[in-house]
Structure 1
Amino acid sequence: MNHWLIAPIVIPLLGGIVQTFMGYAPISLRRTLAIATTVLILVSSLILVSLANDGSYRIYAFGNWQPPFGIVLVLDRLAALMLVMTSVLALFAHLFSIGGADEGNRQFHTLFLFQLMGLNIAFLTGDLFNLFVAFEVLLIASYGLLMHGGGTVRTVPGLHYVVLNLVGSAIFLIAVGMIYSVTGTLNMADLAVKIPQVTGESRNLVEAGAMMLLVVFALKAALLPLCFWLPKAYAKATAPVSALFAVMTKVGVYAIIRIYVLMFGDDAGQLANLGMDWLFPLALITLAMGVIGALGADNLKTLIAWQVIISVGTLLAPVALGSEKGLSAAMFYLVSTTWTVAGLFLVAELVSSQRGSAGDRIITAPKMRHRTFLSVLFMMGAVAAAGLPPLSGFFGKVLILKSVESGPQMAWLWSVLLIGSFLSLIAYSRAGSIVFWRTVDGHLESPQPLKGTVSVSAGALIALTVVIVALAGPITEYTDATAAQLFDASAYTEILQTRMVGEDN
């Protein structure tokens, strides 16, 4: 059954290659094959989450090279959760794109599938260097997707995005080299064993490399002060690209969880909990900065882009606490906020298509078509994003608040999160009331009719906030088990003793 581990990588790889050679094929055929590929990715992810649910680790070693010498993929609960979350999001974003957003670039579907491949490699890899490779694959694809649609409006934000990520990649490579020079390995399980044994000047080199990695992951996650590139880049991208990018910052969050819990957790000796003292205050400041940005947003997509930054701060604060409860709560919130933000990006595009030249700007305009439908979707997304009952964002934030023990950290987290949620509600209320209800007399300039695929895609992602509430019990059980598995580093290191590829674990 271990061969299933390569499915989420091989499927988008083959699908992307096929799309590369179909640039001049009828767009209906390209769309059909692209959606079919995304559905297969989702099916393979669901199979993997069912396998991971028994709590064991599964590995796939390429070329039969045993770890720590070969390239390995590792499946556990966290990897499976990220795969399912991403594939569900990708399916609805991809469906939205065939409503017309994929036109103008013959390789849109190629880039979309290669982006998924890079994301899936990042979630499954058990090797630090291959995590770097995964970052490069998904970033190269994201460069093309960000520029999709043309126009100078995307040039400057796209340039900032490219330059910053190239700098981050260079730092990543240097940090990996520093760690390898001391430990002689980049296999994560092997590093978890060897890092506690490092002493003297070598320990300083590993510590420096680890802190450089934290900077890189903070850049990917858009943690303050490395977050200011995100609002313009996400706001200017096409809607399905912005929706898919909702999971991009979560890759940085995932990398922090994976590496700093496994390799620099409580068992890492003198390097235990490295960087966590910095992570907690930075997460709270990031949350506060995201709220300020949301209050000052002048269009819906910028408001939602700042919500991405708010969610990053909200996620990393409990992660920095270093407890199983905090990590479990963060993972519950991670699923909720990722789908909610992606759905809001799609809703913002639908709103823009119905308001003529006003677009998604937060200004008064003539009454739009389908106002009731779109306002309900926006309200549900806003309620979930702000953390109000009865939708999933509320339960995620409650779990985060309950995860912190009494003390100064509790006071800071409760204060910042609750005040931030209230101010976020004000930002969404202001935007919704102006866009949907404060209309002026006049006629719209040929508003576009809503297509079935785009309406269903946006509505489905927003509706997932209700589905998460309905399944809150099973999801919480899964995240609790995932957190317990992550904090048991010794179980992860046992994959080094796996003898043959495909052997049952």
Structure 2
Amino acid sequence: MNRLPLDILAILPVLLPLLAGALLLLFEDRRRVVKVSVSLATILALLANAIALLVICSTGGENGTGRVLVHLLGNWPAPAGIVLVADRLSALMLTLTALLALASFVFALARWHKAGPRFYSIFLFLQMGLNGAFLTGDLFNLFVFFEVMLAASYGLVLHGSGTARIKAGLHYIPINLVASSLFLIGVSLLYGVTGTLNMADLAGRIRGVHPEERMLLEAGAAILAVAFLVKAAMWPLNFWLPTAYSAATAPVAAMFAIMSKVGIYVILRLDLLLFGHDSGPSAGFGSPWLLYGGLATIAFGTIGVLASQSMPRLAGYSVLVSSGTLLAAIGVGSEPVISGAIYYLLSSTLAIATFFLLIELVERGRAAGADVLAVSMEFFGVEEDTEEKQVEEEVGIPLPLTMAVLGAAFVGSTLLLAGLPPLSGFVAKLSLFAALMGDGATVPGSSWALIALLTISGLAALIAMARTGITTFWVPMEANLPNVRAVELVPVAGLLLLCLGMTVFGGPVMRFTDATARMIATPTAYMQDVLAAPPVPAYKQSGSAKP
């Protein structure tokens, strides 16, 4: 009996949500028990698969950088065939996506899964697109998964209807369509110069590009980068994000916290793979733009955080601060800074997702019209259409203890966003500061600027969250008792506990991020494993290989 190869785990994150989402389209929306059961089982299976990949990819490899699993779709070898590649970084992003999907989906079960048609399938297709973008090993299929992710996000940003979401969608959708067009133009230029779209093969060919064609190569890379920077929300390409994220429903906004990180992931992967230290004349191409663009994004996000008069927009601008920090760190490019950036990516994504979920619960106790993201604003206060009236129902029981729990969760979110101890936000910023300072002898001015902006952004987050907390919680208890279900509190508490766990186990997590940064900074093993992956031999019924 032949054993299945381990690389089969690299296709399951794409295959499982695709099959489950397609299957659920065959059932009517009123078959919610079936749809919830299938969706939840799929999400749990994806989480288990991601953890398995994380464990497998964390062992072995040269210098402890881990193992690379390569799955050849159609059994065609690279670079001619399509490949899915799982390594430390992609497995980490798969795990983060699965955790956020589980928390968001469980939160949605309180009511949001009934607020619009085909929620379950669209949610799974979004996860499929995200997983595929993290796993793909060639640029064309990155575009395919990018479009699957965006198509699903179009449906989710409008989920729950309402004027605010429709207006946000009218901005969100065209901007992303333009980004997709730029993506195709950039990919076409790169293919025209190098003759390949396989990332590993592309990294090897860039070094030998003729000097007369190098300018065209770099122009294609720049256009491609703009498409990713729109999704990563770098200033001045980020004006759409606060409005779109603040208008989305709470579970969708929490899931969108990982979507901005898709652009960050691709830029991190391609920057070090294609334009790393061994890339010849193009080494370091675009790094200064990432550094200074990231600094500008942090500054813009910080101003937005201070100026925000509502919690959803505050959370939206916090996404910009997170993206700017990661872009600036990628622009610096040193291994210690990249390691700190990966830790910061995990912490900030969990923190922002937690805050988006928490906002919906806190806003439920305020007056109708206080915020477009609050569920009660539409379901309890404003009558817009019949579909929303059907969803209207009491959620949970108002208890004095509820405000204490929500207040504690709000304090935890404040500590995370401001980067204060004892949660992981503090460890993330501290690791970045230590990496930027280096030995302390010669610290570039750009590193000092990044340290200053990170400090100021943390202070701004603390001021804005304290101001919001006072106006929200410092009121008579009888006037502010939201109805909350346990199924809504569990995801919020779970994400906060994950952040606490990242602090308690900060040493092992940092060692993992150190090894991950070392792996992506020296991609030779990645390139060799992808290009040398052999096709799986076919077998006859007798078990002997075909000649």
With the shorter chain as reference, the TM-score category is over 0.9
**Structure 1 residue corresponding to 2:470, chosen from 397, 418, 433:** 433
**Structure 1 residue corresponding to 2:483, chosen from 449, 471, 495:** 449
**Structure 2 residue corresponding to 1:204, chosen from 215, 230, 242:** 215
Correspondence 1:413 to 2:450: yes
The CA deviation string for residues 85-118 of structure 1, in whole angstroms up to 9 with x for no partner, is: 1101110101000110111323001000000000
Correspondence 1:499 to 2:534: yes
Instruction: Map 1:108-119 onto structure 2 (within 5 A).
Output: 108-119=119-130
State the alpha-carbon separation in 2 of the partners of residues 442 and 91 from structure 1. Answer: 33
Do the aligned residues in 1 keep the contact of 2:246 with 2:372 (CA within 8 Å)? no
The CA deviation string for residues 409-435 of structure 1, in whole angstroms up to 9 with x for no partner, is: 222111111112112111111111111
Partner of 1:10: 15
1:443 to partner: Cα distance: 4.5
Partner of 1:263: 274
Do the aligned residues in 2 keep the contact of 1:243 with 1:341 (CA within 8 Å)? yes
Partner of 1:423: 460
State the alpha-carbon separation in 2 of the partners of residues 141 and 471 from structure 1. Answer: 35
State the alpha-carbon separation in 2 of the partners of residues 56 and 196 from structure 1. Answer: 25
Do the aligned residues in 2 keep the contact of 1:347 with 1:374 (CA within 8 Å)? yes
1:448 to partner: Cα distance: 5.2
State the SS of the aligned residue for 2:85: strand
State the SS of the aligned residue for 2:70: strand
Do the aligned residues in 2 keep the contact of 1:294 with 1:427 (CA within 8 Å)? yes
**351-360 vs 290-299, which moves further:** 351-360
State the alpha-carbon separation in 1 of the partners of residues 467 and 292 from structure 2. Answer: 29
The CA deviation string for residues 135-156 of structure 1, in whole angstroms up to 9 with x for no partner, is: 1000000000000001121112
Letter in structure 2 aligned against 1:496: L
Identical residues among aligned pairs (%) = 41
Correspondence 1:123 to 2:134: yes
Do the aligned residues in 2 keep the contact of 1:353 with 1:359 (CA within 8 Å)? no
State the alpha-carbon separation in 2 of the partners of residues 98 and 368 from structure 1. Answer: 21
Partner of 2:93: 82
State the alpha-carbon separation in 1 of the partners of residues 329 and 189 from structure 2. Answer: 29
The 1:500–1:127 alpha-carbon spacing in structure 2 relative to 1, beyond 3 Å, is same
State the alpha-carbon separation in 2 of the partners of residues 24 and 440 from structure 1. Answer: 41
Partner of 1:374: 406
Unaligned runs of 5+ in 1: none
State the alpha-carbon separation in 1 of the partners of residues 532 and 447 from structure 2. Answer: 41
The 1:268–1:151 alpha-carbon spacing in structure 2 relative to 1, beyond 3 Å, is same
Letter in structure 1 aligned against 2:446: Q
Correspondence 1:332 to 2:332: no
Measured on the aligned residues, the alpha-carbon RMSD in Å equals: 1.8
Instruction: Map 1:19-418 onto structure 2 (within 5 A).
Output: 19-54=24-59, 55-357=66-368, 359-360=370-371, 370-404=402-436, 405=438, 406-418=443-455
Greater relative contact order (Cα < 8 A, sep 6+): 1
Do the aligned residues in 2 keep the contact of 1:146 with 1:158 (CA within 8 Å)? yes
1:440 to partner: Cα distance: 5.8
1:360 to partner: Cα distance: 4.8
**Structure 2 residue corresponding to 1:466, chosen from 471, 494, 500:** 500
Letter in structure 1 aligned against 2:430: V
State the alpha-carbon separation in 2 of the partners of residues 170 and 424 from structure 1. Answer: 35
The 1:111–1:448 alpha-carbon spacing in structure 2 relative to 1, beyond 3 Å, is same
Unaligned runs of 5+ in 2: 1-5, 60-65, 374-397, 539-547
State the alpha-carbon separation in 1 of the partners of residues 536 and 459 from structure 2. Answer: 52
Query: How many residue pairs align between the two structures?
Result: 496
Letter in structure 1 aligned against 2:325: T
Q: Which structure is larger by alpha-carbon Rg, 1 or 2?
A: 2
Do the aligned residues in 1 keep the contact of 2:179 with 2:230 (CA within 8 Å)? yes
Do the aligned residues in 1 keep the contact of 2:185 with 2:224 (CA within 8 Å)? no
The CA deviation string for residues 289-338 of structure 1, in whole angstroms up to 9 with x for no partner, is: 11111111121111111111111111121111111101110000111110
Do the aligned residues in 1 keep the contact of 2:362 with 2:482 (CA within 8 Å)? no
State the alpha-carbon separation in 1 of the partners of residues 495 and 320 from structure 2. Answer: 19
Do the aligned residues in 1 keep the contact of 2:57 with 2:88 (CA within 8 Å)? yes
1:407 to partner: Cα distance: 2.1
4+ residue runs of structure 1 moved beyond 3 angstroms?
A: 358-362, 440-444
State the SS of the aligned residue for 1:64: coil
